[in-house]
């Protein structure tokens, strides 16, 4: 939502300043320039990326409206889930835990956290790690390397739409120049005509450069940067899971393992220890107050 507000502020400031100088907004409305620049930008996405990634670019941009799901409340729910898993493993044994890991849809532990487990990659990350940990055939340091590699690959995959969008942002100023050059060519063909007509065509050509630069630095590049921050937030979330799961794999007590996960949460989103303890013990009012 804040991304949309930012775009409104960008266009509002530019249009407002233009009107303060007694500018004519009708001059800025050049559909042909928009077709050239917008169509070419869309074409660069199609040329440089497979169809599946092109679709992800647009779905990722639409996802900016909802914002990042990795909020303080989401992290607190994650700590509760990890605590329930670790306590369940201690009480019921690894054999019972393995049954739940193999069938998380039927697990009473996982069913309590639908917001988390509906993300299939998060669910698979947790279950695959627990399955490997309880097998007892992988040393902790090897398991840690496995998780790190998994997180790196996932980050590379999810960041691809943002990278593709950044490439478009880099191309937009050049596409604006292309539109401007075409406008100049048209203007050359109109020489000898009425001055008003020539002036209109020159203005249209300059609007092409203006739009290319504006869309690049005022819209597409900031959107790509915003997506990059969302991707970093998701990768950081998996680092939190990694910290907690690795502590559990090393045989630490559930509370200590969850504390390892809590300490890996970014400071601005990290619940304090009392909030984590209250949430894990089923005291939501105290957790919210803390």
Over residues 116-129, the pLDDT tens digits come to: 888 999 999 999 99
**CA proximity to 214, closest of 5, 48, 46, 28:** 28
Residue 137: inside a domain? yes
Residue 53: inside a domain? yes
Number of domains in the chain: 1
Mean pLDDT for the stretch of residues 235-257: 94
Residue 40: inside a domain? yes
Domain carrying residue 126: 27-290
Q: For residue 271, is pLDDT > 80?
A: yes
**CA proximity to 116, closest of 229, 2, 234:** 234
Mean pLDDT for the stretch of residues 42-56: 92
Residue 17: inside a domain? no
Q: For residue 18, is pLDDT > 60?
A: yes
Mean pLDDT for the stretch of residues 214-225: 93
Q: For residue 285, is pLDDT > 80?
A: no
Contacts of 237 (CB under 8 A, 6+ apart): 70, 75, 78, 122
Write down the pTM of the prediction. 0.86
Residue 101: inside a domain? yes
Q: For residue 288, is pLDDT > 70?
A: no
Looking at residue 242, what is its pLDDT? Answer: 96
Q: For residue 99, is pLDDT > 70?
A: yes
Residue 178: inside a domain? yes
Residue 145: inside a domain? yes
Looking at residue 283, what is its pLDDT? Answer: 64
Q: For residue 226, is pLDDT > 80?
A: yes
Candidate from 45-54, 96-105, 147-156, 189-198 with smallest mean pLDDT? 189-198
Residue with tokens 């690894």: 94
pLDDT digits (tens, 9 = 90+) for 192-212: 778 777 877 888 888 889 999
Residue 1: inside a domain? no
């Amino acid at each position: 939502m804040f991304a949309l507000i930012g775009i409104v502020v960008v266009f509002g400031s530019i249009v407002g300043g233009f009107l303060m100088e007694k500018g004519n907004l009708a001059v800025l409305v050049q559909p042909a320039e928009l077709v050239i620049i917008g169509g070419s930008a869309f074409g660069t996405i199609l040329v440089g990326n497979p169809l599946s990634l092109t679709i992800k670019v647009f779905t990722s941009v639409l996802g900016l409206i909802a914002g990042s799901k990795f909020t303080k409340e989401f992290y607190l729910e994650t700590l509760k889930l990890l605590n329930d898993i670790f306590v369940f493993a201690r009480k019921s044994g690894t054999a019972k835990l393995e049954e739940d890991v193999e069938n998380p849809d039927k697990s009473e532990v996982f069913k309590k956290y639908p917001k988390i487990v509906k993300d299939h990659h998060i669910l698979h990350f947790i279950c695959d790690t627990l399955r490997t940990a309880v097998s007892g055939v992988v040393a902790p340091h090897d398991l840690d390397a496995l998780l790190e590699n998994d997180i790196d690959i996932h980050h590379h995959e999810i960041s691809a739409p943002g990278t593709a969008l950044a490439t478009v942002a880099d191309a937009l100023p050049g596409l604006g120049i292309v539109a401007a050059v075409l406008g100049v060519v048209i203007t050359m063909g109109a020489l000898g005509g009425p001055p008003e007509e020539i002036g209109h065509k020159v203005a249209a050509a300059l609007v092409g450069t203006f739009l290319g630069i504006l869309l690049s630095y005022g819209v597409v590049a900031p959107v790509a940067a915003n997506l990059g921050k969302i991707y970093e937030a998701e990768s950081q979330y998996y680092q939190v899971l990694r910290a907690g799961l690795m502590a559990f794999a090393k045989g630490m007590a559930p509370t200590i393992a969850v504390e390892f996960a809590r300490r890996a949460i970014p400071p601005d989103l990290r619940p304090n220890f009392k909030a984590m303890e209250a949430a894990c013990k089923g005291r939501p009012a105290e957790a919210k107050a803390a």
